[in-house]
Chains A and B, each alone.
Chain A
Amino acid sequence: MKEKTEFLEREYKNMLERGETWTIRDLNGPSQPHVVVEGKKCIMLASNNYLNLANDPRLREAAKKAIDKYGAGAGSDWSIAGNMDIHRELNEKIAEFKRTEAGVTYQTGYAVNSGLIPQLAGRGDILISDELNHGSIIDGVRLTKADRAIYAHSDMGELETVLKDAEKKNYRRTIILTDGVFSMDGDIAKMDEIQKLADEYGAMTYVDDAHGEGVLGEGHGIATEFNLEKKIDFQVGTFSKAFGSFGGMLAGSEMLIKYAYNTSRTWLLSAAFPPHVAAASIAALDIVEKEPERVKKLWDNTKYFKKEIESLGFDTGNSQTPIIPSMVGDSKKAQELAKRLYDEGIFCLAIVYPMVGRGKARIRNQMNAGMSREDLDVILRAYEKCGKELDII
């Protein structure tokens, strides 16, 4: 019997039973530290809006003006008739901000990784990838015919072993791919060591800095943090997180950018994002450059929260950034903690076994420059109350 669409319901029910479906929650208003989630007032601990720019009046104003000038949509792909001067302005701004020769936006960060990586390597090449890299890198890598080697998370000994082995096989190209900041644990890639190994073994480097932009290197990202702006071959980023707007970006040499947009199927086969998105992104980069105190505030909050939650007795794992996990251990406990924190008006995400290893369940907390000391204290008090009730601390 040939199967038709009945499989959809069957599979969906299976996912539902396994708890693998998403419960989509509606925010009744903008994304900012204080949000309303389906009628309930909450402090937001689960958004990537690190610099609190998503609802900044200057981004809103820039977007509105762009709508008045350019309209609501771009009308076409960038490659054909959808590239407006405001898109070009943003591309130039990316290069300036990233201190590279050139830059270009993609529709999303996912579109950069899934569209560009397959154009960089093929049969006879090797892609070397950190085991905890983001799914969009994994997808991009899967689309190539290159050999792929995975090294244990941030394990430079393993990375060097892979590079040594690869040397014997005479690959044409070797590319090391890594996230800049790892989104589950909030730790930073050892970019200096990775670049050194890459130089030693003739490899290229590819970094997705989605969670590092607006955070590291005074907001410019991991390349600036490690003084590698001219060294990293492929710098990928996003406007959808700290920069409060939307869309992916690529920065690097002029040749890279020309090659990238002429070959990436994702770039070529989707429409340009609307002009007001570009306008908001330009405004965001301006603010990050002109207001270093914003990044500083994010780090002040990060340091305070990390110190205080640790002194409450929570382990924060390997966190080095505004992504601060609070380790709970037991999955049931983590789910219960998230539930009770929500009752206390804290919106956060529990991550449990088997998503993470047994006994490594946690809540992932994400800091925001717009949070006041008082907000953080409210969160910490809730953690203390619920943590004690549940015998975690």
Chain B
Amino acid sequence: MYTLGFLINPIAGMGGKVGLKGTDNVLDEAVKRGALPLANLRASETLERIKTVIDKYHSDFPVKWLTCSGEMGEDCLKKYGFSCEVVHHCKKVTTADDTKRACKAFLKRNVDLIVFCGGDGTARDIYDVVGDKTPILGVPSGVKMHSGVFCVNPEAASEVIFAFTEKTLSIGEAEIMDLDEEKYRKGEWSIKLHGIAKTLSEGNYIQSAKAIIRGPSEEEIKDEIADHIKEEMEKDTLYILGSGGTLKTIGEKLEIDKTLLGIDAVFNGKLIAKDVNEKELLSLLSKYRKAKLILSPIGAQGFILGRGNLQLSSDVIKRIGIENIIIVATPSKLHNTPFLRVDTGDPSLDKEFAEKKYLTVLIGYHITALRKIAVPV
């Protein structure tokens, strides 16, 4: 039996169609402009599909639902005949505080997975409470979904939930992205990497003639990638390490205290700067002649530059040189990253990336694969 926490952020997605790009601080305005609740619709689609599959194929569904009262989950679960236990009673008008309290209640009950319907803001609120303790799965219902915890649509979410109850999925990592909506409404991108959450991943499978067998684990592969980087590191070269789980493993292999979310610099095996900003990067780059940058794709859209790491400005990238960028990703992560997205804010630099068409990605010890580059048009 699995215990799943289920919550709907009933106002998620309401800012989108009325041109508000999110509902942080402007919900009243969104309602005034005629916004309709999207999250409940997405939740219904997901639950309806689960219900249909159970009825049709008499599938086992060993799940106990924990949820919030009313429109934050209970109503929807009951509508599709799922019994559930309400562990958080919401206020009449729900807020982010309800999401957080619900998650605290979920944690207390040791849920195996939290399924939520919302956007980046909801993911951020959940992450702030659960951290990397419990896997999170998002049914996409917001305006912005840059975080890596989202399924592509409610149908996919239902299939992933079934696969989870059959234990055929592994636990992987996903970035939680945080966008400053006030700035965004003024036309300014300001996405930060907020944290690394746990989510469900397909794992690394190997095809064989008869079926497919499970390959090495995510941790083993990250370790292999780190071995490769460590062995191939050149002397007297500045290494700038981006953020994320794979980079963290590389840091461990180098025996340095790498930050998880920040950008750090290594020279001849020593950590020389931590969590640097653009100015510090430029000053490092003027000091050291040769530099390489190691990055991993971030978030649901697979950004390597332009989201979550604005310190790596176009000036910084030009100094380093595109040919000195090393991309790392585990095969399962790359599997869900059809494009490596670049948005440096400098059209000529973006064009330079676009002309390369592909970037090479290190996916194991001396193993590479290619990914197409996508730039803003």
Min distance, Cβ B112 to any Cβ of chain A, angstroms: 13
What residues of B have a CB within 8 angstroms of the CB of A148 in the complex?
364, 366-368
Contact A210 B358 (CB under 8 A): no
Find out whether the CB atom of B358 lies under 8 angstroms from the CB atom of A359.
no
Nearest residue (CB) in A for B368 is: A149
Residue in B168, B205, B363 whose CB lies within 8 Å of A19: B168
B167 touches A19 (CB 8 A): yes
In the complex, whether B195 has a CB less than 8 A from a CB of chain A is no
Partner of B357, one of A133, A161, A349, A353: A161
Residue A77 interfacial (CB < 8 Å) = no
Partner of B205, one of A145, A151, A354, A390: A354
For B208, the chain A residues whose CB sits under 8 A away are 134-136, 183
With A and B bound together, what is the CA distance between A166 and B363 in angstroms? Answer: 17
CB distance from B29 to the nearest CB of A (A): 37
Q: Hey, which chain B residues are within 8 Å of A19, CB to CB?
A: 166-168
Which residue of chain A lies nearest to B200 when distances are taken between CB atoms in the complex? A354
- The answer to whether B214 has its CB under 8 Å from any CB of chain A is yes
Q: Which residues of B contact A48 (CB under 8 A)?
A: 209
| Residue of A132, A147, A158 touching B207 (CB-CB under 8 A) | A132
Bound: A158/B358 CA distance, A: 8
Nearest-neighbor residue (CB-CB) of A151 within chain B: B370
Binary interface encoding of chain A residues 315-350 relative to chain B, with 1 for a CB under 8 A from any of its CBs, else 0: 000000000000000111101100000000000010
Q: Determine if A147 and B368 form an interchain contact, defined as CB atoms under 8 angstroms apart.
A: yes
A268 at interface by CB-CB < 8 Å:
no
Given contacts A135-B206, A184-B207, contact A150 B53 (CB under 8 A): no
Instruction: Knowing A146-B366, A150-B368, A359-B155 are in contact, say whether A354-B169 is a contact too (CB < 8 A).
Output: yes
CB nearest neighbor in B for A351: B211
CA distance A275 to B168 in the complex (A): 43
Proximity bits, A145-189, B CB within 8 Å = 1, else 0? 111111110000010011001000000000000000001100000
Q: Give the shortest distance, in Å, between B227 (CB) and chain A (any CB).
A: 13
Tell me whether A58 is interfacial, beta carbon within 8 Å. Answer: no
Within 8 Å by CB of A354, from B56, B163, B358, lies B163
* Binary flags per residue of B155-171, CB closer than 8 Å to A gives 1, else 0: 11001101100111100
> Quick check: is A269 within 8 A (CB to CB) of the other chain?
no
In the assembled complex, B140 has its CB within 8 A of some CB on chain A: no
Q: Is A380 an interface residue (CB 8 A)?
A: no
CB distance from A128 to the nearest CB of B (A): 10
Contact B159 A349 (CB under 8 A): no
Q: Which of B15-37 contact A (CB under 8 A)?
A: none
Cβ of A85 within 8 Å of any chain B Cβ, yes or no, is: no
CB pair A134–B209 under 8 Å, yes or no, is yes
Question: Which residues does chain B contribute within 8 Å of A158, judged by CB atoms?
Answer: 358, 370
Whole-angstrom distance from the CB of B334 to the nearest CB of chain A?
Answer: 10
A134 touches B207 (CB 8 A): yes
Total B residues in contact with A, Cβ cutoff 8 Å: 37
- CB-nearest residue of chain A relative to B201? A354
Q: Does chain B have a CB within 8 A of A358?
A: yes
CB <8 Å contact, B59 and A162: no
Q: Which residue of B lies closest to A148 (CB)?
A: B367
Say yes or no: B207 contacts A149, CB within 8 Å.
no
C-alpha gap A138/B357 in the complex (Å): 27
User: Are A152 and B212 in contact (CB-based, < 8 A)?
Assistant: no
Indicate whether B369 reaches chain A with its CB closer than 8 angstroms. yes
Residues of B within 8 A of A210 (CB): 209
**A63 vs B214: C-alpha distance when bound (angstroms):** 37
- On chain B, the residues within 8 Å of A255 by CB distance are none
User: Which chain B residue has the least Cβ–Cβ distance from A164?
Assistant: B358
Tell me if A131 is interfacial: C-beta within 8 Å of chain B: yes
Interface core residue of A145, A355, A391 (most chain B CB under 10 Å): A355
Bound CA span A222–B69, Å = 63
Asked if A183 and B209 sit within 8 Å, CB to CB, the answer is yes
Contact B159 A330 (CB under 8 A): yes
Q: Which residues of chain B are near A9, meaning CB under 8 Å?
A: none
Chain A residues positioned under 8 Å from B299 (CB to CB): none
Do the beta carbons of A336 and B57 come within 8 Å of each other?
Answer: yes
A354/B209 in contact, CB under 8 A:
no
Q: How far is the CA of A335 from the CA of B168 in the complex (A)?
A: 14
B-facing mask of A126-146, CB < 8 A → 1, else 0?
000001111110100000011
CA distance A20 to B163 in the complex (A): 13
Task: Determine the residue in chain B with the shortest Cβ distance to A155.
Answer: B370
Closest to A183 in B: B209
Instruction: List chain B residues, Cβ under 8 A from A354.
Output: 163, 168-169, 202-203, 205
Smallest CB separation, A327 vs chain B (Å): 15
A69 is an interface residue with CB less than 8 A from chain B? no
Chain A residue with Cβ nearest B213: A135
Chain A's closest residue to B205 (CB) is A355
Say which residue of A20, A132, A358 sits within 8 Å of B160 (CB atoms).
A358
Q: Lowest 4 A-B CB distances belong to which pairs?
A: A354-B202, A135-B208, A18-B167, A355-B212
Given contacts A149-B360, A355-B205, A358-B152, 9 further A-B contacts (CB under 8 A): A19-B168, A148-B368, A149-B369, A149-B370, A150-B367, A210-B209, A353-B159, A354-B205, A358-B156
**Would you list 14 pairs from A and B whose C-beta atoms are within 8 A, ordered by A residue?**
A135-B207, A135-B213, A136-B208, A147-B367, A148-B368, A149-B360, A149-B369, A150-B363, A152-B369, A165-B360, A331-B163, A335-B57, A351-B211, A358-B160
